Structure 1
Amino acid sequence: MTRPANAPRTAGSARPLKAIYDVPAPAKLNLFLHITGRRADGYHLLQSVFMLIDWCDTLHFELRTDGQISRADLGGPDTGCGTAEALPAEDLAVRAARALQAACGTSLGVHIGLEKRIPSQAGMGGGSSDAASCLLALQRLWGVTLPAAELRALALSLGADVPFFLSGGHAWVEGIGEKITPIALPPARFVVVKPSAGLSTPAIFSAPELKRDTETATIQGFAANAKGQVFGFGRNDLQPVAQALCPPIGQSLDWLSAQHLQGRMTGSGSAVFALLPHDVDLPDVPGTPGDWKIRKCSNLQAHPLAGW
C-alpha cells in the first residue's frame, strides 16, 4: 500500500513528545575563507573550514496540537558577554519549523523558546545553527523524519550554512556551502571579539573590489600547512572589504595584536578571533570598549546533537 502524498512522514512507531528542553546550537568560526569564483546565478564559490565552538544558543520546544508555530525570546543568564539581542519576528528557527512541518505533512505545531547568546551579524552562524537544531529536535518532538538527502536539501534552502550544522562536526566546506567533508581538528582555545557594529553580508559580496579568484586549495594542503599549524592557514578574502565598511573590525584586530595575538575575521564578520596558546591567558577584557563582546572559547570535538 502506498503512502498518501499528504500523509505525515513518520519515524517508525515514534510518537510525538510533549517537550524537549535545553537543546544547544553552537557557533562556528571560519578558520579561513577563500572565494574561488562566481556562478552564473551570482552565488559565490568558496572554500573554508568551519569549526564548532562552545559558544551556544539554547532552544526549548513545547508541542502544540493546533498546528501553530510560535516563538519567544527568552533572553538568558548573564554570560559576561552583553545582554541578549532582540529577535526578528520570523527568524531562521521559525522558518525551519515551518519548512519541516510542510515537508513532513504534520498537523502538529510547536512553541519555541530561544535563549540567544551568539551575537548576530557576527559571521558565527548563530541563526543557521538555531535552524539546524530546530530541524533535528522537531523531528523528535513531532515523531516524524525526513530522509537524510531531503533534510540536507531543506537545510540548504534555508541558508548556505545550515547544512554544515547538520553534519555533526568540523568540516571542509566548498561550493556555496553544500559540499561538506568532515575533518578532524586538534583541541584549541580561542578568543573571540565581537564589536557592537554589525555588517551586511550582501554589502560585502556585492563590493566590486572583493577578491573572487583565489587559487583552489586542497584538504591535504590544509592538513600539511606549517607542520600541522592548521589554524594559520590561508586568509579571509572578505576581510579587506569588511574592514573598509566597518572600521570597528580593524579596531578589534588591533586590540588582538596589542595582546600579541594574530587575529582574523570569521565568516562575513564583524566578529574576529585569534588562537589562544595553552600557555597564554588574557586579562579580563583589558582596554576594550564596554559594548564589545569578548569570550574565550574552545573548539568542540563534535556537535552536541551529533547522532540525532
Structure 2
Amino acid sequence: MQGLVFWMVYPLLWLISILPFPFFYAVSDLVFFLVYYIIGYRRKVVTKNLKLVFPNKTDSEIKSIEKKFYRHMCDMFLEMIKSISISEKELKKRFEITNLEYLRELETMDKSIIIMCGHYASYEWMNALQLHGLKFKSFGIYKKIKNRYFDQLARDIRGRYDGVLITTYKATEKIKNNQNNGVLGNYAMIADQSPKLNRAKQWIDFMGIRVPVFEGSDRLARKLDMNVIYLHVEKKKRGFYEATFKPITENATKEPDNFITKKFIRLLEQQIKNKPEYYLWTHKRWKHRNEPIPDHAEVIN
C-alpha cells in the first residue's frame, strides 16, 4: 500500500518540481487558498499559538500574521518538492550563505560542528550548505517518515549533494561512532521540537511560556567537545533566503550546563519576535505548558 501511494503521488510531485518558478509559485498560491480557506488546516492551532505568545497583539494583527504564515508555509512545502529537481546553481542562488568563511575557520579546529536550527524560514533548502566544498561531511538529523518510499525520497534528495540523513533515534549513536572513528562532520539539528513528557528533563521559558525542551545538542556538544553554531535564516523575498552562522560556543566542555540550549532558544526567539510569520505555528509547541514539571526535571533560568 505504501508503494502504491508513493507511485500515485510522486509523478505529480516531479511535475510540480520542474515547473518554472513563476508557475511554481502560482501553484503555491492555489495550495494556500485550499489549505487556508477551504481545508482550514490547523487554523485553530495556529490562532491559539499566536494569541498565546503575543497576548498584546490585536485580533487584526494576529490575523495578518496568520495569513502571512500560511502563505510562507505553502511556499516552503512546495520548495521541498522543488528540491527533487532544482539545479545546484539555482539552489546556491536562492539560499545564500553570508559568512561561509566562519564555518571554514571552525573546520580548521578539527572538531565536529553542531548547527542548531529552528523551524524558521527555510530549513528545507539547508542542503545548499553541501554545495560549497566544505572539509567536513554534512549530516542532517531528522524524524523518519512512516512511508518508507517517501523516507527514501528524502534521503535521495539529500544524497544528490553528498549529504547524509540520520534518524533522531540513531543520531547519538552515529555521532559517537563517527567521533570514535575520526570522522568529523557538520551536524544540522532542528532543536525546537517538543519532547515527550516522560523524556523531558529540562524546561525553559520559550516566548514567555515555560515548556520542555530537548537537551540532546547541549549534552552531545559538551561530552564530545563539539563546536556549536546557530543557523540564522532570513527570507529576503519569495523563494530567496539568506543564511548567517552565529556562534554559540567554541568551548563546549567549559560551558555550564544548559548554556547551549538557552542561547539557542534566545537566538530563535529574537527571529520569531522580529518576523513571526516565518515560524512554523502549526506545531503544538506549547502543548505541555500547563503540565506539572516532574521532580526529576530542571528549570533553565
Q: TM-score under structure 1 normalisation? A: 0.28
Q: TM-score under structure 2 normalisation? A: 0.28
- In proportion to residue count, which structure has more helix? 2
- In proportion to residue count, which structure has more strand? 1
